[in-house]
Chains A and B, each alone.
Chain A
Amino acid sequence: MGLIGALAKTVVFAVPVSATFFDLIGTVVAVEGVSMQPVLNPPECGNSNTDYVFLNRLSVNALQFQRGEIVSLVSPFNPSQRYIKRIVALEGDTVKTLDKEKCVLVPTGHCWVEGDHHGRSVDSNVFGPISTGLITGKATYIVWPPNRMQRLEVQPAGEQRVYQTKACFAQ
């Protein structure tokens, strides 16, 4: 009885405290897929190329986002699915889509997200700008495997497709 009691006490403590920590402060998730190559799951690591990243949840609650940050978000098509993408443009920006066919104005409260691996990513080029309310965390570190441990840098898009004004339409 003493053992079961102690075990129950530990569970009643550990489960809510860890759930609160994961929800409020941050959590570690495995990255699936190739859409963020070469930064995440680089191809040269072969079959064992699954990276685990730390998702910072605290900074998402503040709803402050920058161009170039890597974020996880709830898929707009399926609420049970999560994507990891990079924020390319913020509200008020204009973006030329990857196929160069049209310019999109990012509406208030929204952002434009893309995978780094162009052409192999389901992102805003498919589903359009997303509400920032769908963002669940900022990926700030690779924490596993050990030889890949590093900070994830904020990298704004290099090519000139993103305009912090309506300039895209003027071209």
Chain B
Amino acid sequence: MAATPLAQSLRTALLRVVQSGSILYCTLEFVADFVFCSGPSMEPTIKSGDVVLTEHISVIFNKIRKRDVVICKSPKSPKDYICKRVIAMEGDNVYNTESNNFTNVRRGHVWLEGDNKDNSSDSRNYGQVPYGLLRGRVFFVLWPLYRAGPLGLDTEKSF
């Protein structure tokens, strides 16, 4: 029995939806996506309520470097995401200003801190974080429009 024109067009439409949904998913998962940031820990670089663009390629190819601003799964609550700056990487000796001692960052780990040192819960509290929890690198502030622009590497950049 031949397919009726209606069944055929429904089938084509369904395949189109599956295809575009998959392309969208792969783009957001492996290339770049939008993140809505809340909380004061990255001020003045990123303020609460900002929407930023992040890319996943640097994380996938192990190209994250010191000073990058990253999105990371929270080590204590993996369903939540945190936005911090990479302060030290494996092999580095980093001074913890909260506990006043040095930590040697282990293989495969990073040390994350917020730019707002007085108001950020980060590696100074929960220690170094495995690289495997990183999700993306923030490269662009999208919203609000008057502060929109690429994210510099320097901490002190104020808008």
Contact = CB atoms under 8 A, between A and B. Distances in A.
Chain A partners chain B: yes
Chain B: number of interface residues, binned into ranges? 20 to 34
B74 A133 contact: yes
A79 B62 contact: yes
A33 interface: no
Main secondary structure of the interface of A (DSSP, over half): mixed
Interface in B58-99: 62, 73-79
B47 interface: no
A109 B22 contact: no
A40 to B, nearest CB: 22
A101 B68 CA distance: 40
B3 to A, nearest CB: 19
Contacts, number: 72
A7 to B, nearest CB: 16
A17 B19 contact: yes
A40 B79 CA distance: 30
A132 B78 CA distance: 6
Given A16-B26, A109-B78, A131-B133, A76 B109 contact: yes
Contacts of A131: 73, 75-76, 78, 130, 133
B34 interface: no
Contacts of A80: 62
B95 to A, nearest CB: 23
Contact of A77 (B23, B25, B108): B108
B76 A20 contact: no
B130 A134 contact: yes
Nearest to A131: B75
A28 B132 CA distance: 20
Nearest to B109: A76
Interface residues of A, number: 26
B108 A76 contact: yes
A78 interface: yes
A12 B20 CA distance: 10
A79 B77 contact: no
A79 B135 CA distance: 12
Nearest to B72: A133
A133 B130 CA distance: 10
Contact of B22 (A20, A76, A79): A20
Contact of B78 (A13, A63, A77): A63
A108 B75 CA distance: 9
A73 B133 CA distance: 11
Interface string B101-121: 000001111000000000000
A90 B118 CA distance: 32
B13 interface: no
Given A16-B26, A131-B76, 4 more contacts: A17-B19, A77-B107, A109-B78, A110-B75
19 contacts: A13-B19, A16-B19, A16-B25, A17-B19, A19-B30, A20-B21, A20-B26, A23-B25, A76-B108, A76-B130, A78-B108, A79-B131, A80-B62, A108-B76, A109-B78, A130-B130, A131-B75, A133-B73, A133-B75
